[in-house]
Structure 1
Amino acid sequence: MKLSILILAIMFTSMSSFSQDQVVEEQNELAEKEHVETSQASQNFAQRWWNASRNKVTRIYDEGKNDFYLTLYAYHDRFTYTPEKLKELNEGAYGFGFGRSILNEKGNSEMLFAMTHLDSHSDLQVNVGYAWVKNFNFIGNSKLGVGYAAGLVSRSDFANRIPIPFVLPMGTIDLGNGTVNLILIPKLNDGINNGNVLFIFAKFSWDRKKEVTF
């Protein structure tokens, strides 16, 4: 009798252990499957994003108008900067650049740009990137736009001129072949003498297949 009970106990323990091992194995397989599916979903999203971005850049470059940029001014908020600091800063953001732009199927503007100009310390700054602007009819053929600019910037006072990414709000006043563009560099903390700068530049566009008109 005792031997039978011992055998039954051993069998029950073995079955319980096997059942637990099976449950753990199934949980591990499920977790691995979910991990694989998540990785595949992430890869698919990244691939779709890359393909869409590449197609967008290719379309703007192939079909867009030529753009010439004339950088004009960098206004520093008088409520953010002290009078002493303003005397040290350069607001004449003189420079130039080139790019291409297109009106997409929704009537919004997209552009690729590269420009160089004097920064607030009178050193050269380089910007390259992409901009998207939603247009609204204003007066006659003129339009107002609001959107964003994103890209890379290289400055003497940031990371030893190593390009760093940026995403900034952007506004436009479109007068036809000429556009006034405004990019806001906002203030990100409660300190003084930083941020709240309005960068202003003009854009002149022409069809590559037609005579240049400004």
Structure 2
Amino acid sequence: MNDTTPFAIADPEDQEKGWFHGAWGGIKQIWDKGNSDFYLSGRYWHTSLGFTDEDRDRYDDWGLGGGYGRSLTDEKGNQRMLYALIAQDSFEKPMYLTGVGWLAQWRMPGDLRVGAGYSVAIIANSIATDYIPFPAPAPLVSIGNEKVSLYCTFFNSILYFFAKTSF
């Protein structure tokens, strides 16, 4: 598990100072050496696992918004991400999220890649937290190429789809 955190790509000097110092060193590596990314927030799917039909009828499924981040592909071909987004939540109010992500990636025919991993975000929204930031670990999957990818994550019985383009 530790190999998937920013700690794993930190300089050895940072790692020797402890886990938090090493993780911060890895975050700096992603920021300094990674690609710039633009995020486009997409769509929510409120599953029947946590929402009634009446709830789903009154929620807005379009999480319009965007964000900025940095991503770095490591020597194994895995992707490490830093991101910050602002999108509308299911009640069309602002939702703020920032975090880190890690994806193991597998090459498919052509330039296509699929990925699976996780993200740990700090989220503040009107629904679940009344804008009090809280940590939200979540699974993360992707399909795309080096420049454009579609992502999906699952949290609080909601599937959330968004896209990223790197430049």
TM-score (norm: length of structure 2): 0.85
Cα offset for 1:160?
A: 3.1
Candidates 70, 78, 84, aligned match of 1:100: 70
Partner of 1:172: 142
Partner of 1:205: 166
Distance 2:48 2:108 in 1: 29
Partner of 2:42: 72
1:69 alignment partner AA: Y
Query: Is 1:58 the equivalent of 2:28?
Result: yes
Distance 1:197 1:53 in 2: 29
Candidates 56, 79, 83, aligned match of 2:53: 83
Which has more strand, going by share of residues?
Answer: 2
Cα offset for 1:87?
A: 1.2
Cα offset for 1:86?
A: 1.2
Q: Which moved more, 1:118-127 or 1:47-56?
A: 47-56
Query: Is 1:126 the equivalent of 2:96?
Result: yes
**Any idea what the Cα deviations from partners look like across 1:164-187, whole Å, max 9, x if unmatched?**
1111000011223001011111xx
Distance 2:48 2:130 in 1: 28
Partner of 2:151: 181
Unaligned runs of 5+ in 1: 1-44, 186-194, 207-214
Aligned residues: 153
Higher relative contact order (CA 8 A, sep 6+): 2
Secondary structure, aligned partner of 1:93: strand
Structure 1 ranges of 4+ moved more than 4 A? none
Radius of gyration: which is bigger? 1
Distance 1:199 1:86 in 2: 14
Cα offset for 1:78?
A: 4.1
1:143 alignment partner AA: R
1:157 alignment partner AA: I
Distance 2:24 2:49 in 1: 42
Query: Is 1:151 the equivalent of 2:121?
Result: yes
Partner of 1:136: 106
2:160 alignment partner AA: F
Which has more helix, going by share of residues?
Answer: 1
TM-score (norm: length of structure 1): 0.67
Distance 2:31 2:61 in 1: 32
CA 77–159 in structure 1, closer or farther in 2 if over 3 Å, else same: closer
